[in-house]
Chain A
Amino acid sequence: MNVLLAVLWKDLISEWRTRDRIVSMLLFSVLVVVVFHFALPEDASQLLKTGAAGLLWIAYVFASVLGLNRAFALELENEALSGLALAPADRGWIFLGKSLANTLLLFLVQAVTAFVFALTFNVSLTAVVPQFAVVMALGALGLSSIGTLFAAVAVRTRYREVMLPLLLLPVMIPVLLGAVRASAALLERGTLPAPALRLLIVADLTFLIVSFVLFEYVLDE
């Protein structure tokens, strides 16, 4: 447990010092929203009614890939990856610490992006902010858990930036589906559908447990 907090704290502090990941993720995510404006037709109001949730989550997925690609960059550059491997009992907790750090970063990016999106596309989120936050958090957790595992794998392959999305995208579909359906229902009707929520929770739990168990095999030198 201490290890978890230590790793979480270390990751967040080092991120706060340089802020390079959070800034690039934020900028990228907001840019994607701007690109949507140019990509959508003139009168997009109908499309936005039904498609806003999907668009937002596309932006979120790409932002998370961007962030995850750098999740182990610090360790790789300082050749600290093997250092992580030296504490056998703690590897699962190291994973949780990193994964939670990634989740928090992503959640921050999601919140700001949702805000910008709501403003620029005149989509009203105020009525459903708390529920929307829950969906964002659950989605971020799902993406970041399996994403952190795959990021640790991808960072030591050739073409590492491409490898991560190749590994992650087909596998994270359940999280995306649950999150988009839940978000869409929130935006349209203001209610949180139970099946979508269930799917999100089941997917999150599955990915968390699997990644926790498998992480140690990824660190071995």
Chain B
Amino acid sequence: MQAGVLERAAGHFRTPSLWALLPLCAVYGLAVITAPEDAVQGVIQKILYVHPACAFAAYLGFGLTALGGALYLWREDEQYDRLALASAEVGVVFCTLVILTGPIWARGTWGRFWSWDPRLTVTLLLWFIYLAYLLLRGFTEGSARAARFAAVYGIAGVLAIPLNYFAIDLFGGRAIHPENLGRGSLGAGMGLPFALGLVTALLAFFHLLARRLELEGLRARNAFAEAETQHEPARAEGPWPT
């Protein structure tokens, strides 16, 4: 069984992206340290340079999970399912980080860990959807069925997120989230560390995704090879690319 296109690309991406990531982190860190302190919030505002960046990666992760699932249902190519799984795992890590850094910022600014703020609440729901997705994969017998079920849930979940956002925003949660980042309310000198944060998070996401994808491809080929050496034709649990 040959490595899929995605996994081969991941394998080539892994090391260069690491070499790019390390100096990028250094530059990013420097930008954060030298950024001016916010007049109102003080130094704690600097969490803003990492918290939304992780959120971006978390949502991207689930988007890719849903996309991988949809492609798998359409093409029945196992490597799309592996993409979905890898993206879900990396995404849930970033999502966890959002849920952890948000309350740290809130505690430092408002004195309370949690406030049911709309954006953070939707991210919490995303976290539960991620977990349900991973549990579903773990608890379903049969890899082809697990892949199909996961794809279905991924697609349903990704559609639920904007619905959730719309719903919660319309109705509830005290919005203590710093609003309107896009409307230039970032003070002078804060644009660079924020942008660097986003780029670094994105690169870190794709680096980890590449690693996870490569790993999943290795596992798949190992399982395939094992089945072959036991003098059974590799059982067609799903259409394997040959």
Contact = CB atoms under 8 A, between A and B. Distances in A.
Interface of A: 146, 149-150, 153, 156-159, 163, 166-167, 169-171, 173-174, 177-178, 181, 195-196, 199, 202-203, 206, 210-211, 214, 217-218, 220
Main secondary structure of the interface of A (DSSP, over half): helix
Contacts of A211: 156
A206 B163 contact: yes
A218 B167 contact: no
Interface in B38-78: 73
B92 to A, nearest CB: 13
A203 to B, nearest CB: 6
B149 to A, nearest CB: 5
Interface of B: 73, 125, 128-129, 131-132, 135-136, 139-141, 145, 148-149, 151-153, 155-157, 159-160, 163-164, 166-168, 170-172
Given A167-B132, A170-B125, A218-B149, A178 B140 contact: no
A202 B163 contact: yes
B153 A167 contact: yes
Given A170-B128, A177-B167, 10 more contacts: A149-B152, A153-B153, A158-B139, A163-B135, A166-B135, A171-B156, A174-B160, A174-B167, A196-B171, A218-B148
A166 B132 contact: yes
B105 to A, nearest CB: 23
Contacts of B163: 174, 202-203, 206
B159 A206 contact: yes
Contacts of A210: 155-156, 159
Residue among B128, B129, B156, B157 facing the most chain A CB atoms (10 A cut-off): B156
B150 to A, nearest CB: 9
A157 B132 contact: no
B152 A195 contact: no
Given A163-B136, A163-B139, A177-B171, A171 B149 contact: no
